[in-house]
Amino acid sequence: MNGPLESSAPFASVAIVGLGLIGSSIARAIRQSLPDTQIMGYDRNADVCARAQAIALCDSYHAAFGPELAEAELVILCVPVGAMAAAATAMAPHLSPETIISDVGSCKASVLTALRGALPYAIIVPAHPVAGTENSGPEAGFASLFKGRWCILTPDADSDAAAFERVAGFWRALGAEVETMDAAHHDLVLAVTSHLPHLIAYTIVGTASDLEGVTQSEVIKYSAGGFRDFTRIAASDPVMWRDVFLSNKDAVLEMLQRFSEDLSALQRAIRWGKGDELEALFTRTRTIRRSIIEQGQDDAKPDFGREHP
């Protein structure tokens, strides 16, 4: 599965289950890059369906699965990872045997287990587009969200090679770079690069909130620095991140232990005035930060590219 892949995926119809940030961004990206593809939008929240319809996000809108789902060549589950099994179980009676099932969850081992349990005979190609913002809802999406970003596919031994090629081509058509990983390895990598940073952000904001006398004045008032930038990811969907931490528990706990050890070492360096040790760490980490920008995964503009009046 590591050979050259096609640059496009000829899906005539795609069903998007969950019309939040990622689901709505997929719909917009399809409109822009694959305009002949029919988009079927599903969300169990009727209000979300109505909001999606008001902005003409999809070609059809459904608050529940029905026989029309069999027409979809690709179904993408854009629901919290803890809801994958329930969504897959609900749609199982309506699927065509030829339909390819995929998802966008940031935990792959648990999602793959859930999908295979609910859909034992389905064609499943798990995926994780490593892109997003702290915003949510159908209005939050935008077509360029995946351009230049990575989409990681985590097929297992039972995955269909032709289906893998089609899903990879689909994501490339939306502007993403495609990578392949083992599900367990993916979960370990994302525990470091995504899950742990969110956990730290939630903790720092929670600590500031506990210091009520300070938070209500100085911390909020002077949050133009690091605290402000941490609060951005701490504003992310609480249900989604609750499920992420519970679903990727082992990897997150392993990385959290490693982080705790590194934090203790940093604490000792500060306590004992080891300036050379601090400078060496900060120099190394600045180099890593610069490499993220060089690889096109962030903006090098001053103030993180924020626009100012």
Would you say domain 186-295 falls under CATH 3.40.50.10420?
no
Q: What is each CA distance from 2 to 56, 154, 186, 199, 296, in whole angstroms?
A: 37, 12, 16, 33, 23
The CATH number of 13-181, from 3.40.50.720, 3.30.2350.10, 3.40.50.2000, 3.40.1160.10, is 3.40.50.720
Contacts of 75 (CB under 8 A, 6+ apart): 14, 15, 17, 69, 91, 95, 99, 100, 101, 102
Q: What pLDDT sits at residue 299?
A: 55
- State the amino acid at position 34 in one-letter form: L
Question: Residue 201 carries which side chain, given as an amino acid letter?
Answer: A
Joined together, the tokens standing for residue 272 give 């004992």
Reported as a single tens digit per residue, the pLDDT across 187-222 is: 988 888 787 887 888 887 777 766 666 655 666 666
List the structure tokens of 294.
Answer: 């060089």
Q: Residue type at 145?
A: L
- How far apart CA 129 and CA 146 sit, in angstroms, is 7
DSSP 8-state assignment for residue 77 = E
Rounded CA-CA distance 150/177 in Å is: 5
pLDDT of 140-185, one tens digit each? 999 999 999 999 999 988 889 999 999 999 999 999 999 999 999 9
pLDDT of residue 18: 96
Helix (H, G, I), strand (E, B) or coil at 234: helix
Residue ranges of domains in the chain = 13-181, 186-295
